[in-house]
């Protein structure tokens, strides 16, 4: 959804609470990194671009979501955060050309993954 196409294991971390419970760390090292093939690396169940719903449901189950509905809620939260990009980028004084190019890509990703 965010066109963070250079995602790999070093970008994922976990935090351990005092009681021993492990939880995913907050999102970090997320960078807009356009790729010439517009594909995510590594692929989602073999799909680098617009993975089918069944693949994402299987990945959600593997990730420990109790239901697809729970996973969809997280997807919606991420999509909502991404939808604020243009406003936030403009507030930071990022050039209109760059904001427009990134916003166009983000809109394409949203359309490609609308089935989720």
Task: Note whether residue 1 is domain-resident.
Answer: no
Output the CA torsion sign for 39, 32, 35, 97: positive
Length of the chain in terms of residues written: 116
In this predicted model, what pLDDT tens digit does every residue of 75-104 receive, in sequence order? 999 899 999 999 999 999 999 999 999 999
- CA–CA gap between residue 46 and residue 42 (Å, rounded): 8
Q: Which residue has the tokens 């936030």?
A: 88
In a domain, 31, yes or no: yes
Q: For residue 4, tell me if it sits in a domain.
A: no
Asked if residue 2 is part of any domain, the answer here is no
Tell me which residue range forms the domain holding 39: 9-112
24, 14 in Cβ contact below 8 A? yes
Query: Residues 9-65: pLDDT tens digits?
Result: 666 778 899 999 998 887 766 777 777 777 776 777 777 778 889 999 999 999 899
Q: What is the pTM of this model?
A: 0.73
Would you say residue 81 lies in a domain?
yes
Strand-pair category, 14-16 with 22-24: antiparallel
Does 58 fall in a domain? yes
Q: In total, how many domains does the chain have?
A: 1
């Amino acid at each position: 959804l965010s066109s963070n196409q250079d995602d790999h294991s070093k970008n994922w971390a976990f935090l351990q609470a005092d009681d021993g419970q492990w939880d995913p760390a907050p999102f970090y090292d997320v960078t807009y990194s356009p790729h010439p093939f517009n594909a995510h690396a590594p692929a989602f169940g073999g799909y680098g671009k617009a993975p089918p719903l069944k693949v994402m449901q299987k990945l959600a189950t593997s990730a420990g979501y109790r239901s697809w509905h729970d996973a969809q809620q997280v997807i919606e939260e991420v999509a909502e955060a991404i939808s604020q990009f243009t406003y936030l980028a403009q507030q930071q004084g990022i050039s209109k050309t760059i904001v427009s190019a990134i916003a166009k890509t983000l809109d394409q990703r949203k359309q490609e993954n609308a089935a989720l």
